[in-house]
Amino acid sequence: MNKPSLYQAEIVGTGIYLPEKVLTNADLEKSLDTSDEWIFTRTGIQERRIAQKDESSSTLGAHAARNALIQAGMTPEELDLIIMCTSTPDVLYPSTACFVQKILAASKAAAYDISAVCSGFVFGLSIAEQYIKCGRYENIMVIGAEVNSRIMDWTDRTTCILFGDGAGAALLKRTERGETVGILSTHIYSDGNYTDTLMVPGGIGREPVNHEAVDSKMYCLKMSGQSTFKMAVKRMTEVSRECLAFNGLSTEDVDLVVPHQANRRIIETIAGKLEVSIDKFFINIHKYGNTSAASIPIALHEARESGKIQPGNLCLLTVLGAGLTWGAAAIRW
């Protein structure tokens, strides 16, 4: 892998949007054979957000993107490209990104979706980084937005307690500040041998909509929890080390790790393996659960807002999701 680049990309604005409706562990206790104690000790989750009927990935994502534009002091017309990272698109086609483009009135922007599930935002960041570094585009909005509540089997206590809805966005801009700031590098991987580990098996291609598929809940998420857990620890640790080494950095150089929020125990195990204090990991899973592609941009925004990321800081993002897909990014602020 050669380090590019004509130009450098930096994040000049972040924004989030969370649906108002809160679903607590206590609420789930009423309909499932589960407990607040089990969910909190095994996952770190206390509550999650649920989209209203008239909300979808495009509306949540557009809110988050608008907030990122406001923070950056920019207008939608300045956007060259919108990359929408979602595994819960509004419709099969057109892309959810096109709905977002319409809502924002980002008339100049090309817009498309990418599907890397929980890794979506880091994959999107990687695409945006390349467009900016080669000089093709100047301003790119990368959005992670999900309505996971729409693909849950609400009778399956091994999955429905984990996920939530939400959106986060980051506005990337070509910077003249030199190549030691901004997105230092992104590293993305996939292994299709593990497609069965985490999957929504029903879909228009393989299993056209029919009563049998609906009755057997094929349009709901199915997960092999323990193998996903083990792969998350292994791959997120591995790719974090690779990302730092690529930039000639060590774990001691990292000011803040912003990991995918899938399970607090995954994050704690990775912290142990990397020998980085858990205090250097930003964790907000207690509030939102696993919001898939929205998880990292929501955490990144909240980390900035809480003052945990200061100018000059080095931030490491790391993620694993269905595919399997995984990745990491190093960002100097």
Length of the chain counted residue by residue = 333
Spell out, one character per residue from 171 to 190, where the chain touches ligand UT7: x when CB under 6 A holds, - when not: --------------------
Residue 118 is a catalytic residue: yes
Triad 121, 150, 127: Cα angle to 5°: 15
Q: Is 263 in the site for ligand UT7 (CB under 6 A)?
A: yes
Count of residues binding ligand UT7 (CB under 6 A)? 21
Which two tokens mark 229?
A: 């857990």
Would you list the DSSP string of 286-328? HHH-B-GGGHHHHHHHHHHHTT-S-TT-EEEEEEEETTTEEEE
Q: Is 228 in the site for ligand UT7 (CB under 6 A)?
A: yes
Spell out, one character per residue from 279 to 298, where the chain touches ligand UT7: x when CB under 6 A holds, - when not: -----------x--------
Q: Among positive and negative, which fits the CA dihedral 140, 106, 169, 164?
A: negative
**Choice between 108 and 230, CB closer to ligand UT7:** 230
Please give the Cα distance from 126 to 145 (Å, whole number): 17
**Which residue among 128, 172, 218, 232 contacts ligand UT7 (CB under 6 A)?**
232
Using CA atoms, how far residue 299 sits from 16, 72, 167, 176, 212, in Å, is: 9, 18, 10, 27, 39
C-alpha gyration radius of the chain: 19
Q: Is 226 in the site for ligand UT7 (CB under 6 A)?
A: yes
The one-letter code for the residue type at 52 is Q
Q: Which residues have C-beta within 8 Å of that of residue 193, sequence separation ≥ 6?
A: none
**Choice between 50 and 104, CB closer to ligand UT7:** 50
Q: Is 321 in the site for ligand UT7 (CB under 6 A)?
A: yes
Per DSSP, helices labelled H in the chain are 25-29, 36-43, 57-72, 96-104, 120-133, 211-215, 225-246, 264-274, 285-288, 295-305
**Choice between 196 and 305, CB closer to ligand UT7:** 196
Q: 118, 160, 243, 315: which one is catalytic? A: 118
**Choice between 82 and 266, CB closer to ligand UT7:** 266
**Which residue among 4, 36, 38, 71 contacts ligand UT7 (CB under 6 A)?**
38
Residue 260 is a catalytic residue: yes
Residue 98 is a catalytic residue: no
Q: Is 158 in the site for ligand UT7 (CB under 6 A)?
A: yes
Which residues contribute to the site for ligand UT7 (CB under 6 A)? 34, 38-39, 42-43, 118, 157-158, 161, 198, 225-226, 228-229, 232, 262-263, 266, 290, 320-321
Catalytic site positions: 118, 260, 290
